[in-house]
């Protein structure tokens, strides 16, 4: 497999040749094309830059939430749990830390990931409806593999 590594402006930085038998390449996340096409409100990857009030830093009447927001790395020890659903199957992985170098990585594939993703979405929607965004039992379960929430800073 040949993989091209690009810099922040999309220019070829390096090319890698990797051996593989089977592979799934998940491309790097990028922002919303419509927002990225407007000069100023986004970072080079197309994610919307916001302040502590969710307003764009250049256009204060533009608000943004969700996966299109530019979230800078707060610290080098983020941890990640991901359920990647591929229809009737999927891949689950844990990365400790999320930003390299990683100390622990774990992944498994199978139909159970698809089912787990469905159940997680139901669970998440219930949390949102009830306003219980971080129940104690969830915090305790996630502490086992070393995944903890970032502390909010007073502003």
Sorted by where each begins, the domain ranges of the chain are 1-72, 74-147
pTM: 0.47
Instruction: Please state, in angstroms and rounded to a whole number, the distance separating the CA atoms of residues 73 and 107.
Output: 23
Query: How many residues would you count in the chain?
Result: 155
Task: Give tens-digit pLDDT for 5-28.
Answer: 888 788 999 999 988 776 667 677
- What would the mean pLDDT of 48-70 be, rounded to a whole number? 88
Query: Tokens 């990797």 identify what position?
Result: 18
Asked whether the CA dihedral 147, 139, 152, 82 is positive or negative, the reply is: positive
| pLDDT of 110 strictly over 80 | yes
Strands 2-6 and 104-109: unpaired
Instruction: Please state, in angstroms and rounded to a whole number, the distance separating the CA atoms of residues 74 and 110.
Output: 33
pLDDT band at 77 (very low <50, low <70, confident <90, very high): low
């Amino acid at each position: 497999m040949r993989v091209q590594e690009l810099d922040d402006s999309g220019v070829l930085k390096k090319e890698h040749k990797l051996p593989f038998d089977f592979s799934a390449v998940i491309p790097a996340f990028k922002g919303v094309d419509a927002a990225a096409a407007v000069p100023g409100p986004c970072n080079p990857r197309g994610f919307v830059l916001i302040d502590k009030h969710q307003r764009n830093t250049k256009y204060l009447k533009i608000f943004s939430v969700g996966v299109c927001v530019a979230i800078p790395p707060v610290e080098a020890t983020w941890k990640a749990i991901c359920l990647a659903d591929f229809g009737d199957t999927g891949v689950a992985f844990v990365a400790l830390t999320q930003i390299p170098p990683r100390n622990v990585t774990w992944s498994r594939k199978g139909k159970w990931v698809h089912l787990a993703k469905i159940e997680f979405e139901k669970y998440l929607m219930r949390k949102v409806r009830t306003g219980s965004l971080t129940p104690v039992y969830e915090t305790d379960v996630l502490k086992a593999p070393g995944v903890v929430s970032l502390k909010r800073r007073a502003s």
